[in-house]
Structure 1
Amino acid sequence: MIWGKRGSEVQRSALAEAEPLEAVRLAVDSAAAGRWEALDDLVEALIDVDAGDDEVAARSALTLVAGVAGVVDRLDRHARQAPWSGPYQESPVRRVGARFSEATSGPVAMALASMHGDGRIRERAVAAMVDRPCPETMPFVVLRTGDWVKPVRDRARAGLALLLADDPGGYLPAVLPMSLRLDARLRGGFAVTQVRAALLSGPAEVRRGLLGSGDARQRRFVFDIFLAQGWLPLPELMTFAQSDSDVRIRAYAAEAACRAAVWTRRHDLLRRLARSVRAEVRVVALTGLVRVGQDGDVAAYLDDDAPLVRAVARDAARRVGIDAREHYRTATGAAEPALGAIAGLAETGSASDALLLRRLLTHSHARIRAQAVRSLRLLEAIVAQEVLPLLRDSSPAVVREVTTALRPVAGTVPPSLLWQLLGDARVELRRSGYRLLRGRSVDVQLRAALILTVDSDPRLAERGKADVTRLARDGARTTWRRTPPPELSVTAVQHGELTAMAARAAAAIGEVTSRMLTTWLADARPGA
């Protein structure tokens, strides 16, 4: 959402025409990334829901607010701030205090009042949410457990502890996300401590439900508790290690499963994990096989795609008498070498092995060509004239690797070729040309960046705009600058071309940058 005067008016018009709950949903989406106007619009939408006296709708609205990470927290921080001008010089949350009643207010009014600037109103709102609890208001109670006012904080902490002890299944799912967000704050650790205690003492089905739901931070927190308490049997650890979507959980589960397999001499389980498609699982499994003395099995992974797996395999190969360097030389000389073998030769070989790699620069498979260029770069055996033809390779990955390899010797690349690449129809070639032009003189960098600011690819255009801004700021004359500005040495013809390009790019780079660039170019005019 792009905010400004016009954007705010359009947003408020859409909210006014929508149904109350739909208005809340729209406001939540805008508030997740918008400025303060979006948060005020969200409060107004919530007040409209509260005015309907429909508790089901009110609880649904609070669910929408709590369902997007960070919105409750941003709303709380924003509630006690007011802009200097505009339609919301008084925050809408402050108006809630006048209509809040401890006995009759609904969930939305209680939640909004809990963010009021007056500590007495916050304390009464917390008391009301604890006396008439529902899961939808729990994130707001959790926020107040870290309140800077002690009576508010104590009331929220006592209520949270009692609710979690009485009904962990009903309140843990609502409390856990906000508790983890507060954990790093001053006075924020209490909620996490209560959540951990509720998980340890609560029903097993509640813990299981939380283990398989929520975002990555929540799942990791619950998984760590399961792992520390030994609640996961070996078959379940194997399942997590092989199929979980979170890399940290996979790695921790694999480590625990391999440790148990080593203790119980279950070599079959270690071999099974060693065949995993996940590198972090394979390396732990191979480490386990090394610990039980199965070096021969581990050495078979010399050509693995993962660098750490190859390192473990080379250590095992040394113990069983295999020369890893000779193995890689032989494997790289095959008609269809494995990518891991090519990378392994770069890790163990020297510049004398470059001949084996250079013949792969014309291989029919793009991934092999890309790996060959990468390996030659790691061996510091790049010859610019040999890889220049690959700058126009059909594979973006090859172009990317050649560009990286040529950057240290970009001065040896013909400038005409780089300007041709910068004007090519393929986005990866334009990116390559620009990367190789960036290390040249100031006038070349400025010309290339100005060309890029109007590129059809948004990411390239943003890169060009950022570099033009940097150059213009460096070139602007300021009284505080201790280092001299970059020298823009150009002929009269080149100066005219840069001036024309700056005019064409003015809309893209913005008024401020355009003004600085114009001033810099005027100062750099030949004969000025």
Structure 2
Amino acid sequence: MLATTEIADRLSDGAAAVLSGALGPLAEIENWMLLASAGELLRIDRTARFWRHRAALGTASLWEGGTLRRSGCLGAALASMHGDGRVREAAVGILTRTDAPLADRMLAIRLTDHVRPVRDAATRAVLRRTSLTQADQIVPVLHLIEGRTRGAEVLPLYLHALAGVHGEATLWSRLRGSTTPAVRRMAFRHSLTNELLSVGDAVAALPREHDRIVQSLLAHAIADRAAPDVVASALLSDRSAESRVLGLVRLTADLLDAPDVERLLVDTGVLVRLWARQRYEEQGLNALSVYQDVARGTGPAAVRARAYHGPIEAGGTVEHETALDLVRSTEPPLTKAGLRLLMGCVAPSDAPLLFETLQAGTNRVARLASEALLEIPAAWSDADLLPLTSSQDPDLRRRAWWLKRNRSGWDETIADLEILLDHDPALAALGHNMTFPPFARPTELQRARLIALLPQVWPETWRTSRVAFAAGLRGEA
């Protein structure tokens, strides 16, 4: 998104190009105004008439005489945003006689004009532009200004005029294909409410749809209006988790096939898994046995990882040794599953394995291993961090800083001081947001570490630093 000063510069360049007739800049400015979204176009219009940037389009006298008539569609489009109402009114008159996409857009913008003659002329012109090609340019702007004081009443009038020319079905089919997301959503909502889109059309459209809101509209329409077998085939395999949940909610256990529900027991969506377990139990089947079979199977690691979580989500437990075996896995999804299963039951004896995982794992695995280590802070010390802090890999040094810092207390301050001394500028910057516990005293080991670090970080002024004051070190040698 351009800053207002950049918009003003482009408008100034456009006005200069119109007056000089430079073809290259003219094409560039026209392309910019055509490709801008409806919201961006309204922002361009607002910037053009803002008092600080009014000079961008020149004085009113610059557009007088034959200049405006000779400037063509682009000149009229620029002039329609001028700060002088007479210039805008003359420009609207030219745009009403111009059959071009840019004219369609700029006339729609002028529906928000505060000068009534300009607004009325633009309204009459817009309501006459009823081709579907013109609607592609006009409707997005009208939809955007629907909630405003000026111009809000034109959208229903314009849609009524379009329907009178093309018919409801053709009109809303066209709008469902709009490149503007808000217009597409409006079109799908209207089409489904007024039954302009059949269940079969909704089923066919759902797999191709990428807009989450439209996906939701289609899924609810299918769930409410389609036969149970259609709901099952369309929703239970849809890529949207909301659709899959909706299918499970709408269909009772006797209407669901056990293999479909079994597959959803290890779905990526938490709510999908919850409803699948409920429906599976209502069918008189045991979800825990499915989880055990999938976990021990040869399926994808991510699926097996979710199967290991299944018993926990169902209110059961997983053995501590099983979680440790998963942590040792070479497949990241299983390692992450094991670390999550350890949460809340980490034993001090797990620390060596967790440090090994912290050093060798991916960033996400390392974060989970760190969170597990933070549950047993007394089971490890700075000596365990040495392989990380002395590593040539900046990523490992960052992991050590994060772990030590999250031990809180004075360790948080010490971690920041240590990272400030790192030779990597990106890592050193991590210590700039230093904090310290204002009502806690450092231990003897922490005091010794602070006394060693502070003169290195602030050689001349360490005794007067807030850290030294809070730690009670101002009188130390």
TM bracket, shorter-chain basis: 0.7 to 0.9
Mean Cα deviation higher: 486-495 or 427-436: 486-495
Q: Please show how residues 16-95 of structure 1 align to structure 2 within 5 Å.
A: 32-34=1-3, 36=5, 38-53=6-21, 58=26, 61-69=29-37, 70-81=39-50, 91-95=55-59
Aligned partner of residue 291 in structure 2, secondary structure:
helix
Structure 1 residue 217 corresponds to structure 2 residue 182: yes
Q: 2:216 aligns with which of 207, 226, 251?
A: 251
Q: Which residue of 2 aligns with 1:499?
A: 458
Deviations 1:55-82 (A, max 9, x none): 9985773332231335423322322346
Structure 1 residue 98 corresponds to structure 2 residue 67: no
Q: Which residue of 1 aligns with 2:413?
A: 443
Give the whole-Å Cα distance in 2 for the aligned partners of 1:453 and 1:239. 58
Give the whole-Å Cα distance in 1 for the aligned partners of 2:42 and 2:439. 44
Give the whole-Å Cα distance in 2 for the aligned partners of 1:298 and 1:112. 59
Mean Cα deviation higher: 174-183 or 408-417: 408-417
Which one-letter code corresponds to 1:494 in the other structure? L
Q: Which residue of 1 aligns with 2:133?
A: 170
Q: Please show how residues 422-437 of structure 1 align to structure 2 within 5 Å.
A: 424=391, 429-437=396-404
1:430, distance to aligned residue in structure 2 (A)? 4.9
Aligned partner of residue 338 in structure 1, secondary structure:
helix
Aligned partner of residue 197 in structure 2, secondary structure:
coil
Deviations 1:110-137 (A, max 9, x none): 2222222333433343343234353213
Structure 1 residue 307 corresponds to structure 2 residue 270: yes
Contact (CA 8 Å) 1:59, 1:136: kept in 2 or not? no
1:310, distance to aligned residue in structure 2 (A)? 0.8
1:361, distance to aligned residue in structure 2 (A)? 1.6
Structure 1 residue 108 corresponds to structure 2 residue 71: no
Deviations 1:470-499 (A, max 9, x none): 54xx89xxxxxxx98999988454222223
Give the whole-Å Cα distance in 2 for the aligned partners of 1:188 and 1:407. 59
1:44, distance to aligned residue in structure 2 (A)? 2.5
1:313, distance to aligned residue in structure 2 (A)? 0.7
Give the whole-Å Cα distance in 2 for the aligned partners of 1:342 and 1:287. 24
Q: TM-score, normalised by structure 1?
A: 0.70
1:328, distance to aligned residue in structure 2 (A)? 3.3
1:391, distance to aligned residue in structure 2 (A)? 0.8
Give the whole-Å Cα distance in 2 for the aligned partners of 1:148 and 1:282. 49
Give the whole-Å Cα distance in 2 for the aligned partners of 1:257 and 1:277. 15
Give the whole-Å Cα distance in 2 for the aligned partners of 1:317 and 1:93. 68
Give the whole-Å Cα distance in 2 for the aligned partners of 1:192 and 1:425. 63
Structure 1 residue 237 corresponds to structure 2 residue 202: yes
Q: Which residue of 1 aligns with 2:241?
A: 279
Q: Which residue of 2 aligns with 1:123?
A: 89
Aligned partner of residue 59 in structure 2, secondary structure:
helix
Mean Cα deviation higher: 287-296 or 383-392: 287-296
Give the whole-Å Cα distance in 2 for the aligned partners of 1:226 and 1:243. 17
Q: Which residue of 1 aligns with 2:307?
A: 341
1:242, distance to aligned residue in structure 2 (A)? 1.4
1:396, distance to aligned residue in structure 2 (A)? 3.7
Q: Which residue of 1 aligns with 2:358?
A: 391
Give the whole-Å Cα distance in 1 for the aligned partners of 2:113 and 2:63. 22
Give the whole-Å Cα distance in 2 for the aligned partners of 1:357 and 1:205. 59
Give the whole-Å Cα distance in 2 for the aligned partners of 1:427 and 1:202. 66
Give the whole-Å Cα distance in 2 for the aligned partners of 1:501 and 1:335. 63
Mean Cα deviation higher: 427-436 or 212-221: 427-436
Which one-letter code corresponds to 1:142 in the other structure? A
1:290, distance to aligned residue in structure 2 (A)? 2.6
Contact (CA 8 Å) 1:343, 1:375: kept in 2 or not? yes
Give the whole-Å Cα distance in 2 for the aligned partners of 1:487 and 1:124. 76
Aligned partner of residue 275 in structure 1, secondary structure:
coil
Deviations 1:99-118 (A, max 9, x none): 15665442223222222233
Deviations 1:306-356 (A, max 9, x none): 212111111112212234345435644557672331232231235564443
Mean Cα deviation higher: 233-242 or 309-318: 233-242
Mean Cα deviation higher: 221-230 or 38-47: 221-230
1:255, distance to aligned residue in structure 2 (A)? 2.7
Which one-letter code corresponds to 1:157 in the other structure? T
Instruction: Rate the CA distance shift 1:60–1:497 in 2: closer, same or farther, 3 A.
Output: closer
Deviations 1:381-410 (A, max 9, x none): 344625332112343442243344445656
Give the whole-Å Cα distance in 1 for the aligned partners of 2:92 and 2:371. 58
Give the whole-Å Cα distance in 1 for the aligned partners of 2:162 and 2:460. 63
Mean Cα deviation higher: 69-78 or 326-335: 326-335
Give the whole-Å Cα distance in 2 for the aligned partners of 1:453 and 1:130. 66
Give the whole-Å Cα distance in 1 for the aligned partners of 2:245 and 2:458. 57
Which one-letter code corresponds to 2:190 in the other structure? I
Q: Who wins on radius of gyration, i.e. which is larger?
A: 2
Which one-letter code corresponds to 1:495 in the other structure? L
Give the whole-Å Cα distance in 1 for the aligned partners of 2:61 and 2:117. 18
Give the whole-Å Cα distance in 1 for the aligned partners of 2:157 and 2:84. 27
Contact (CA 8 Å) 1:491, 1:526: kept in 2 or not? no
Which one-letter code corresponds to 2:82 in the other structure? H
Q: Which residue of 1 aligns with 2:345?
A: 381
Q: How many residues align?
A: 452
Give the whole-Å Cα distance in 2 for the aligned partners of 1:118 and 1:430. 62
Contact (CA 8 Å) 1:144, 1:153: kept in 2 or not? yes
Structure 1 residue 132 corresponds to structure 2 residue 98: yes
Give the whole-Å Cα distance in 2 for the aligned partners of 1:183 and 1:447. 56
Deviations 1:173-201 (A, max 9, x none): 11233334434545463454456546655
Give the whole-Å Cα distance in 2 for the aligned partners of 1:388 and 1:253. 48
1:298, distance to aligned residue in structure 2 (A)? 4.9
Which one-letter code corresponds to 1:78 in the other structure? T
RMSD (CA atoms):
4.2
Give the whole-Å Cα distance in 1 for the aligned partners of 2:378 and 2:126. 66
Which one-letter code corresponds to 2:413 in the other structure? D
Q: TM-score, normalised by structure 2?
A: 0.77
Give the whole-Å Cα distance in 1 for the aligned partners of 2:151 and 2:20. 34
1:46, distance to aligned residue in structure 2 (A)? 1.1
Percent identity, aligned pairs only, is 21
Which one-letter code corresponds to 1:401 in the other structure? L
Instruction: Rate the CA distance shift 1:352–1:309 in 2: closer, same or farther, 3 A.
Output: closer
Aligned partner of residue 251 in structure 2, secondary structure:
helix
Instruction: Rate the CA distance shift 1:350–1:224 in 2: closer, same or farther, 3 A.
Output: same
Give the whole-Å Cα distance in 2 for the aligned partners of 1:109 and 1:211. 33
